Amino acid sequence: MPTLGYEWALLALGISVALVASSHALLNKRDPRAAWGWIIVCWLFPLGGSLIYFLFGINRLKAHAQKLRPPSAAHTPAVDSGANTRRELGVPASLVELVRTADALTHLPLVSGNSLEILHNGEQAYPAMLASIDLARHSVAVASYIFDPDRCGEAFADALGRAHARGVEVRVLLDGYAEMLVLGRGGRLLRRHDLPVMRFHPPGLIPPSLHVNLRNHRKLLIIDGVHAFTGGMNISDRHLADDPGNPYPETDIHFALTGPVVAQLLATFLEDWRYASGETWNPPAATIHASGVSTCRVIADGPNESVGHLAHVLFAAIAAANHHVRIMTPYFLPSRELSAALEAAALRGVTVEVLLPAATNHRMVRYAMLHGLPYLIDAGVRVYRRPQPFAHGKLFMIDDDYAQIGSANFDPRSLRLNFELNVEVYDPGFSKRLTAHFDAVRAASEPISAAELRAQMLPKRLRNAFCWLFSPLL
């Protein structure tokens, strides 16, 4: 009898735990397939399956990120770029719904009067950035995912040190995870000049912190609140693509910006700095004047936001495209929804082109990318393999009117896990310059066919599919 009572108690416990776990999946999973899968696992293996669900099935990341860093625009009234304003800003009628989508998500206005300069590789970007630091009079704000303690890192540390020595207020924000990978040497290099340096979500044991997925991937340099640089480039010798002595060259694209959008870039940095340091930094106020014809807006995104800003704006932009969608990215693992949007655009006659590097610096990511490409190519998406060296640049353009530049890749890490920053640009002239660069790279690239990918040996296809299973975390 005691044995029978134990079995009944175990059965009751299993049923109770399975009921709680499956109810949680039913209420919280947005995809019915995922909900069904977890419910079946919980009831087939009431104790073991429920334990697996509680360990791996619950998205603690977003909840944890929101707890650590509340959504930036949670209490900010939504902006409405009205019809008259849109016409004054030169936004085409075909992009009105896109503007409204970004209005509702970012709570920031479109601002006109901006100027953007395209900078290719470290050879163009770093001299311009260093010269700007040397001209700083009041403040310098730096955010970099990677700050390598190499020749470029030393050059930036020296320039920032000189600015600090002449009384300029300097703040440097580095990602904690990336700093851990270089054993904190980037931060130590900067602290030799007595510079204020903070790490964003530094992993560690004391105090306990293992937020390796909550990374700040933003790249910003803001001078006196009036000049800014952003894009995909870190601070590293690797971006000196033309240096024959560089063993791991990477091409990339960065941008110099002036005009009212710089205030939005600075506001994003100040929020990140306040979160990482606890300090409310108020750099000297700057007077920003119109300096060009580009209409821009910052799109800041991260796992602390209740709705993915970048992903939703990308959906709206792809849906608004009438002629062309151009994507340049080093990592291309679009979600099922973004894949469907690209396929739908191609099927309705829009030319969708994707430029990918022939090889990546993360082999597992490359294998996962190869698994998903045949389905897009079957729908009419044109995918190209660009020649080496590794290409780290990121661009997104539709038609000849709209572009996004910044730090985000076309993968789950950027669109779900990282803190990212893009700038959307409404300017036909700027788009034409980017299109010329895109077309030149495409002309030197090799098209990828679905037949080629499906003709790979079975072990390679299995390898690619296995790596693809981990795509949400790559």
User: Residue 202's pLDDT is what?
Assistant: 80
Helix (H, G, I), strand (E, B) or coil at 198: strand
Structure tokens at 382: 């044109």
Q: How far is it, in rounded angstroms, from Cα 464 to Cα 474? A: 13
Question: What tens digit of pLDDT does each residue of 286-319 get?
Answer: 888 888 999 999 999 987 766 689 999 999 999 9
Question: What tens digit of pLDDT does each residue of 47-69 get?
Answer: 777 777 766 666 655 555 555 56
Q: How far is it, in rounded angstroms, from Cα 314 to Cα 446? A: 26
C-alpha distance from residue 323 to each of 217, 319, 353, 381 (Å): 31, 11, 11, 13
Alpha-carbon torsion (461, 465, 471, 473), positive or negative: negative
Residues 6+ apart with CB under 8 A from 314: 338, 341, 396, 404, 415
Mean pLDDT of 144-172: 96
C-alpha distance from residue 144 to each of 221, 291, 410 (Å): 8, 26, 19
339 near 352, Cβ under 8 Å? Answer: no
Residue 169: closest CA among 223, 91, 112: 223
| β partners of residue 325 | 352, 398
Whether residue 234 has pLDDT greater than 90 = yes
Question: What tens digit of pLDDT does each residue of 200-211 get?
Answer: 888 765 444 545
Whether residue 149 has pLDDT greater than 70 = yes
Q: How far is it, in rounded angstroms, from Cα 188 to Cα 162? A: 16
* Lowest-confidence region among 77-81, 226-230, 375-379: 77-81
Mean pLDDT of 85-100: 81
106 near 261, Cβ under 8 Å? Answer: no
Query: How many other β-carbons are positioned within 10 Å of the β-carbon of residue 196?
Result: 16
- In this structure, the chain runs to a length of 474
User: Residue 27's pLDDT is what?
Assistant: 74
| β partners of residue 273 | none
Q: How far is it, in rounded angstroms, from Cα 295 to Cα 115? A: 9
Structure tokens at 468: 């693809």
Looking up tokens 């075909």, which residue turns up?
94
Whether residue 1 has pLDDT greater than 50 = no
Q: How far is it, in rounded angstroms, from Cα 252 to Cα 330? A: 10
Q: How far is it, in rounded angstroms, from Cα 472 to Cα 109? A: 32
**With b meaning 16 or more CB within 10 Å and e meaning fewer, what string describes 329-368?**
bbbbbbbeebbebbbebbeeebebbbbbbbebeeebbbbb
User: Residue 65's pLDDT is what?
Assistant: 56
- The alpha carbon of 228 is separated from its chain's Cα centroid by a whole number of angstroms, namely 18
User: Residue 397's pLDDT is what?
Assistant: 97
User: Residue 420's pLDDT is what?
Assistant: 94
Residues 6+ apart with CB under 8 A from 436: none
pTM above 0.75, yes or no: yes
Straight-line distance from the first to the last Cα atom of the chain, in angstroms, rounded to the nearest whole number: 53
Residue 473: which region, alpha, beta or left (left: phi > 0; alpha: psi -120 to 50)?
Answer: alpha
Alpha-carbon torsion (182, 184, 187, 192), positive or negative: negative
